[in-house]
A and B are shown apart, each in its own frame.
Chain A
Amino acid sequence: MKKNLICIECPKGCALDVDIENCRVVKVTGNQCPKGETYAISEIEDPRRILTATILTKGFPLKLLPVRTDRPIPKARISDAMKAIRKIRAISRVKTGDIIAKDLLGLGANLIATREL
C-alpha cells in the first residue's frame, strides 16, 4: 500500500511517499532530511504529537501558565491528556522548563512549564 503524507517536522512541509506493508513502513521518499523518514514511520505505526495547553494558576497575576509535553504522546490519548491537564493548578513559582507533572498518564512524557511564573 502507498500513502502520501506531509511531513510536519519543520516548516518546509515535505510531501512524502510512503510504502507500507502489513502496517509497517518499508520505504519513504520525498523527504529532504532524515527527520522525514522518522516522521513517516511514526505517523503510520504509532502517530504522536507534542501537546500544548495551559493550566490555571493560583495567586499569580498571570491567570494561565502555558505548558507542554516534553515529548510527543500518542495521538489517541490527546483528549485524555487534556482532561488531566485541566485539573492541574500552578500554585508556586516555576521557571520555563520546570516539570509540572511527571510521566503524564503514564505516557512516558512529562508536562513542563513553557513560561516563567
Chain B
Amino acid sequence: MIERDLVIVGAGPGGMGAAISAHENGVKDIFLLERDQYLGGILNQCIHTGFGIDYFKEVLTGPEYADRFIKKINAIPEIEISARSFVTHLTKDKVLTYFKPGKIETVKAKCLIMATGCREKTREMTHIAGTRPSGIFSAGLAQKLINIEGLLPGNEVVIVGSGDIGLIMARRFTLEGAKVKAVIEIQDKTRGLLRNVVQCVTDFDIPLYFNHKILKIFGKDRVTGVSVAKVDSCMREVAGTEFKIDCDTVLISVGLIPENELIEMAGVRIDKKTNCPVSDETNKTSIPGLFVCGNAFKVYDLADSVSKDSELAGKLAAEYLRSAG
C-alpha cells in the first residue's frame, strides 16, 4: 500500500488552503483528493461577490477567490492532485479507499486533513408536510442549475429560510427573470448576513416574512403553491393567520450540516446535534493526526474564515508530522 505524508480530502477553500499552508510549513509530500473534475469546490457556483474582503482585502467572486488558491497550488510541485476521486472508506489508521473512473485505490496517510465541507439541510429534515412534486430544490442545487448548468428551475419562487444561499438565490432568480414571491423565515431575524438581506432581497422589493413558517407544499406533478402561517415565540402556528402563495418552485435554505460521514466511519467522535467532530481545539479530532478543517469542522459564515481555519490545519499537520518523525 502506498503511504503518503499528508493526504487532504476535498479541494474547496478548506482543502486548498490547508495544502498550501502545510507546504509553507515544510510538508514535502501532499496528496490532494477531489471528487469533482475541477478544484474549487462550491466556490465555482458562487458567482456572486462577497469573498476575499477579509482574507485578500479585495472584493471577489467565488470563482476568483478559488482561482487565487488554484494558481498557488499548481505552482507547488510537492502537491499532487487526484481529481474525480471519490473517497468511500476511511479507517482509524487513516487508510483511505477511493474510487476513480477506471480504478479503486487505497492510500495510507501518515497525517490526514478532511476538508469535506458541508451539505444543505433538506426539506425532509425540516419536516415540511404536503406533497412531493417536482419543483422543490435546495438553494445550492438551484444555484448549481442556474450558474453552472444554465438551467432555470422555476418562474415563481418561494424561498424557505433566510440562509445566505437562499438570499443570494433570491437575487439570482430575479436577475434571471423569475419572480421571487417571498422569503419565509421562522425566526425573528435573518439567518444570513444583513448585507445579503439588503442587496438580495430589499433591492428587489422581495417580501421577507419573519416569524412565519411553511405549513404545506401543494401540487401533484409540479409545485403549485405553499401555505404559510405566523408562528408565536415557541414557533407554534398562530391560528387564523394561514395564507397561501401560488408558486411553481420552493427553495430550501434552512442551514448546513458538516459532511462527516467518513470520519464517523473511522470512529471519530461526532456531535449528534451538529454533526461536527467533538473537539476541544480547532481542527483536532479524537484520532491523533486526523484533522478536520473548514466547514466540515464547523459551519462558517464566510469562505474567508474557512481559509484562516485551514491555514491552521496545515500548520497542525506539519507539526504532527515533525513530531511523529
Contact = CB atoms under 8 A, between A and B. Distances in A.
Is there any pair of Cβ atoms, one from A and one from B, under 8 angstroms apart in the complex?
yes
Interface of A: 5-11, 13, 49-54, 56, 62-64, 66, 68, 75, 78, 82, 96-97, 114-116
Interface of B: 44, 47-50, 53-54, 59-61, 63-64, 67, 147-150, 175, 193-195, 197-199, 203, 301-302
A68 B50 CA distance: 12
Summarize B's interface: helix, strand, loop or mixed: mixed
A54 B147 contact: yes
B47 A49 contact: no
A70 to B, nearest CB: 10
A8 B199 contact: yes
Given A50-B59, A96-B64, A11 B203 contact: no
Given A54-B150, A63-B148, A8 B198 contact: yes
Contacts of B64: 96-97, 114-115
A49 B199 contact: yes
B197 A11 contact: no
A66 B195 contact: no
A8 B61 contact: no
A6 B193 CA distance: 11
A78 B44 contact: no
B198 A96 contact: no
A73 B150 CA distance: 24
A6 B198 contact: yes
A109 B49 CA distance: 16
Contacts, number: 73
20 contacts: A6-B197, A7-B195, A8-B195, A10-B53, A11-B54, A11-B195, A11-B302, A13-B194, A52-B61, A53-B175, A64-B148, A64-B149, A64-B150, A66-B61, A82-B175, A96-B63, A114-B67, A115-B44, A115-B63, A115-B67
B149 A11 contact: no
B149 A63 contact: yes
Contacts of A54: 47, 147, 150
Nearest to A35: B53
Sort A-B residue pairs by CB-CB distance and give the 4 closest, nearest first.
A13-B194, A8-B195, A115-B63, A66-B47
A6 B47 contact: no
A97 B49 CA distance: 14
Contacts of B203: 49, 75
A66 B63 contact: yes
Nearest to B195: A8
A63 B50 CA distance: 24
A52 B150 contact: no
